[in-house]
Amino acid sequence: MSFERLLQPKSIAVFGGGVAEELVRQCNRLGFSGEVWPVHPKKTEVGGRKVYRSVAELPGSPDAAYVGVNRNLTIDIVRDLAARGAGGAICYATGFTEAGDEGSKLERQLLEASGEMPITGPNCYGLINYLDGAILWPDQQGGRRVDEGVAIITMSSNVAFNLSMQRRGLPIAYLMSLGNKLKFDLHDAIRVFAAEERVTALGLYIEGMTDPRAFAEAVNLARTLGKPVVAIKTGRSETAQKMVLSHTASLAGSDALVSALFERLGVARVESLEALIEAHSRCST
């Protein structure tokens, strides 16, 4: 499964009224040169862009879609996008596996609806591609275009938003929120971004790890390609681990084992966002 169209789109479809307004504004601000197609059942124009009524009305198959609607509509839209041959979708809605049995059932329906199409999330804040100015993001962000930089991968939407507003001068190439990791897990993101020539290093904010072996293989690939990896791993206490589970439907794992794994792989572990930014700032100078 290739995520290239989703992460480096030439065309973006966006679903959700308020989300569409901000996404169009941010794409314009960063000079995204591709097409942006808002989709809404009632509006006729968003940020100077023509609005389409449905996936079927779009002028083509979008490389990426930001689906900023409720969980039930998300499943329907993802099904339509997959049938249209879209490059992938970012699913913003909450209320899936992290919400219990009913949500787990809906998440299985979402997986089925997506077919062979890549998706990120659900429960995912989004993606910012500062290399190409492609903003798949529901909110303001304070970054700027760069020619190369660090790929930041996070399991926390709050952390993603805070990093999007950082003013420390760290050149960020990609900022990615993973959400529930239904089809795009941490190790997938590490592999994809490590292989991107314009990415110089990787920063990880980890709340849980589903496949340590795949994680190790991905980190080894990054280091083979000369891309340093710096990580924050949360959830040191039992209470914190329970909070992580309720937040992202992910297992936090033994902190001691994680530390041992990081040491073996050469992952630099830090304890705060400030330290993460500082470590990468030193690498980029």
Please give the pLDDT value at position 139. Answer: 86
pLDDT at 236: 57
Residue 44 CA to residue 57 CA, distance in Å, equals: 13
**Is the Cα torsion angle 208, 218, 105, 117 positive or negative in sign?**
positive
Nearest to 145 by CA among 187, 173, 178: 173
pLDDT attached to residue 255: 80
CATH for 146-284, options being 3.30.200.20, 3.50.50.60, 3.40.50.261, 3.90.550.10 = 3.40.50.261
Question: For residue 201, what is the DSSP state?
Answer: E
pLDDT of residue 249: 46
Q: What is the pLDDT of residue 187?
A: 96
Distance CA 58, CA 218 (A): 36
pLDDT tens-digit map of 128-159: 999 999 999 998 888 899 999 999 999 988 88
Asked, colleague to colleague, whether 4-120 and 146-284 share their fold, the answer is: yes
Q: Is 33 exposed, middle or buried (0-12, 13-18, 19+ CB in 10 A)?
A: exposed
For the chain, domain boundaries? 4-120, 146-284
Looking at residue 284, its pLDDT comes to 60
Beta bridge partners of 65: 13, 89
Nearest residue to 114 (alpha-carbon basis) of 38, 183, 59, 178: 183
Helix (H) or strand (E) holding 127: strand 127-129
Low-confidence ranges of the chain (pLDDT < 50): 237, 239-252
Tell me, which fold does domain 4-120 have in CATH?
Rossmann fold (3.40.50)
